Amino acid sequence: MKKRSIILVLPAIILITASFKNIKQQGGEPWRQDQLIQPFVLAAIINDPSAHQPIIYNIGFGGGIKNSITEGPMKDSVNLLKWRKELEKLPRDTDIIIYCGCCPFEHCPNIRPAFTLLNEMGFKNQKLLNLSHNLKADWIDQNYPVQ
């Protein structure tokens, strides 16, 4: 009986260890460094009609990057659930970019729940717009395309 318990517990220990290792590698964030997209890169994509256009979701309080879809703050579980239902309709290889822009990442209540949801749903091509200050300073003041 003792061997059976060890066999059942071992996969759970391996999974937990792998999860902690993953979090440590990512600095505790649900995204990797290579999943950040710089504002000038996204602006160039939006401004190039021949470029493949990703789906851009505003998961914050408002403010519109050109062609973005406003979903509302993802700190609100109602918005998160509504967005999940929309995402369920998309292929998992869809190019998705999310942004909030209310404040620097370390203070933002919206980006982590949104990015975590994308990961949990198995999306493969999601990125987070790297707004180091906020939408105004890092996008609007740079004269990047707005709605």
Q: In this model, does residue 22 exceed pLDDT 60?
A: no
Mean pLDDT for the chain overall: 85
Domain presence at residue 120:
yes
Domain presence at residue 6:
yes
Q: In this model, does residue 9 exceed pLDDT 50?
A: no
Q: Same structural domain for residues 38 and 109? A: yes
Distances in Å between the Cα of 8 and the Cα atoms of 1, 15, 18 are 11, 12, 17
Q: Same structural domain for residues 91 and 104? A: yes
Q: In this model, does residue 11 exceed pLDDT 70?
A: no
Domain total of the chain: 2
Give the range of the structural domain holding residue 18, as residue numbers without chain letter. Answer: 1-30
Q: What is the pLDDT of residue 104?
A: 86
Q: Same structural domain for residues 8 and 62? A: no
Cα 138 versus chain centre, distance: 17
Residue 41 buriedness (CB in 10 A; 0-12 / 13-18 / 19+) = middle
Residues ≥6 apart with Cβ < 8 Å to 111: 59, 74, 98, 100, 105, 128
Domain presence at residue 135:
yes
Q: What is the pLDDT of residue 77?
A: 92
Please report, rounded to a whole number, the percentage of residues in the chain having pLDDT higher than 70.
Answer: 81
Q: Same structural domain for residues 11 and 75? A: no
Task: Check which CATH number belongs to the domain holding 43 and give it.
Answer: 3.40.250.10
d(Cα 53, Cα 51) in Å, to the nearest integer? Answer: 6
Q: What is the pLDDT of residue 27?
A: 66
Q: Same structural domain for residues 76 and 62? A: yes
Q: 47-79 pLDDT, tens per residue?
A: 999 999 999 999 998 768 999 999 999 999 999
Q: What is the pLDDT of residue 2?
A: 53
Quickly tell me which residue has 């999860």 as its tokens: 19
